Amino acid sequence: MTLPPHVEPASPQLPVVELNEITRIFGKRSILESVSLRVEQGELFGLLGPSGSGKTTLIKVITGIDRADRGTVRMLGTPMPQLRMLQRFGYMAQSDALYSELTAKQNLLFFASLYGLSGARRKKRIEESMAVVDLLDHLDKPVSAYSGGMRRRLSLAIALLHEPALLVLDEPTVGIDPVLRQSIWKELLAMRSRGTTIILTTHVMDEADKCDRLGLIRDGRLTAIDTPEALKAKTGSTSIEDAFIVLGGGVRA
């Protein structure tokens, strides 16, 4: 497969994200404990865990929005946090961080400018991103008139604006109906096949099956990292859900 021109050529041996013994403590409680993982080029990597398990904190540490108390984080070989690395990934937060008074186009213009896009290229990228999420006909509507699903898709479009080689998505399909969820997954898989690395969090088990590799996270610890098939085989279970319960110790905290 040939990479499309926008994907940054990076040496294949360099992992996109590399975490080494990450610990994050809030007050006296450690939210993350000794988390180590590598995400390779072109992978669709899923972080699976119940709410409150530390997924969002891990995402923030990976992106450099938050800083780890112990351990090292590298993105494309660069130690994090690093301001210029914020340009290298597209981010979709758990909440739809949109300005609802403004139109979709005004939201896109704003974020595109923050990523340094301007002029004809900005216009082109706005149209391309909105085409990906199938919202091109709703560009001039105020976001307050958008449905929940449309907002989620607009958030995704914003993450795609600057053609990042890495997408970091925090619960991209939460609160979305099954039809729309399928269409978002279709897009994610298409982007992966174009060479984009994707890291996402989820607590929906059947979504986990679609990832190349999974990290199971429980109470701030990574209990296992492997492909969905290997996880199922290792635990002798037929579903990711069963595998998750076996690996998590079988008891819910």
Partner 1 sequence: MRIRALAIRIIRQFVRDKRTLALLFLAPLLILTLMKLVFNGQAVEPQIGTLNMPPQLVDRLEQAGAAIITFREAADAASAIANGSLDAVLTLDAGKPAIQLEGSDPAMNKTVLMLLQRTLQEASPNVQAAVSYLHGSEEMTSFDSFGPVLVGFFSFFFVFMLAGVSFLRERTSGTLERLLATPIRRYEVVAGYLSGFGLFTLLQAALIAWFAIDILGLYMDGSIWLVLLINLLLSLTALTLGTLLSSYAGSEFQIIQFIPLVVVPQVFFSGLFSLEAMTPWLQKLSYAMPLYYGADAMRSIMLRGAGWGSIQTDVYVLLGFSTVFALLNVAALRKHRAI
Binding residues (CB under 8 A) for partner 1: these are 63-67, 81-84, 86-87, 91, 93-99, 101-102, 106, 109-111, 113-116, 118, 142
Q: What value does the CA radius of gyration of the chain take, rounded to a whole number of Å?
A: 18
143 vs 211, which CB is nearer to partner 1? 143
144 vs 227, which CB is nearer to partner 1? 144
DSSP-H helix ranges across the chain: 55-63, 104-114, 119-132, 148-160, 178-193, 205-208, 228-235, 240-247
Closest distance of CB 113 from partner 1, Å: 3
Q: What secondary structure letter does DSSP report for 42? A: T
Closest distance of CB 232 from partner 1, Å: 34
Closest distance of CB 143 from partner 1, Å: 11
144 vs 193, which CB is nearer to partner 1? 144
Q: What three-state secondary structure class fits 190?
A: helix
190: exposed, middle or buried (C-beta count within 10 Å: 0-12, 13-18, 19+)?
Answer: exposed
Closest distance of CB 175 from partner 1, Å: 14
162 vs 213, which CB is nearer to partner 1? 162
Closest distance of CB 48 from partner 1, Å: 22
Which residue, 202, 229, 214, 198, is CA-closest to 91? 198
Q: What three-state secondary structure class fits 234?
A: helix
Helix then strand count (H, E) for the chain reads 8, 10
58 vs 231, which CB is nearer to partner 1? 58
